[in-house]
Chains A and B, each alone.
Chain A
Amino acid sequence: AQKITQTQPGMFVQEKEAVTLDCTYDTSDQSYGLFWYKQPSSGEMIFLIYQGSYDEQNATEGRYSLNFQKARKSANLVISASQLGDSAMYFCAAKAMKTSYDKVIFGPGTSLSVIP
């Protein structure tokens, strides 16, 4: 079974600064995917970034990058140049890649507040 840990219930960052949101995962699967989602106060879930367990390079999507350390089972999200609109809940998630029936498991989330 997979488990996702996000040890930062809440984080604050100054506007235009960079911030790192921590995520560690526990899985026995060899092939898996890691995801980050953003949930604004409206409640929708917005996909941010994906990293495959066999990807050699860290994923990047605009201002988002994923610091993937496989040996440490760590998949931290880095947001550069924070904006006020980045204030939201952020969820780290993982999924085994054995079949399409594999479920996505979500971490408890980190609440990010961007200060003007």
Chain B
Amino acid sequence: SAVISQKPSRDICQRGTSLTIQCQVDSQVTMMFWYRQQPGQSLTLIATANQGSEATYESGFVIDKFPISRPNLTFSTLTVSNMSPEDSSIYLCSVVPDGWYGYTFGSGTRLTVV
């Protein structure tokens, strides 16, 4: 299955600033998925990113807050903009490798906003 390198692994940020999270996959994949996991909660899908098109956002998530780029079939970024303490979460990218059904996840970014 695919191997995903996600950076940074953790960060502590000031409120009002932005953080960009990167995911690099070792093979070409059609779709990449971005998830948020708030403390003590399950995973919630933020958006689905296809190469060459606008990301599709889930209810409750907007592009101005979570802009996503997908410049090619192996790379994507998620930006968390104008951060507040409520954005403190683990952010995870994932892909569905060709020939398989489930997700392979990056190692996650643990974000703390102070």
Contact = CB atoms under 8 A, between A and B. Distances in A.
Q: Do A and B come from one complex?
A: yes
Nearest to A43: B108
B110 interface: yes
Contacts of A37: 105
A46 B4 CA distance: 12
A: interface residue count bin: 20 to 34
A39 to B, nearest CB: 8
Interface string A88-108: 000101010100110110111
B101 A97 contact: yes
Nearest to B109: A43
B111 to A, nearest CB: 11
B24 interface: no
A33 B102 contact: yes
A109 B42 contact: yes
Which interface class (under 10, 10 to 19, 20 to 34, 35 or more) fits B? 20 to 34
Nearest to A107: B42
B38 interface: no
Nearest to A47: B102
Interface string B94-114: 101000011111111010000
Given A100-B31, A103-B45, A109-B42, A52 B101 contact: yes
A50 interface: yes
18 contacts: A43-B90, A43-B107, A44-B108, A46-B105, A47-B102, A91-B42, A91-B43, A93-B102, A95-B101, A95-B102, A100-B30, A100-B31, A101-B31, A104-B33, A104-B102, A106-B43, A107-B42, A109-B42
Interface of B: 1, 30-31, 33, 37, 41-43, 45, 48, 90, 92, 94, 96, 101-108, 110
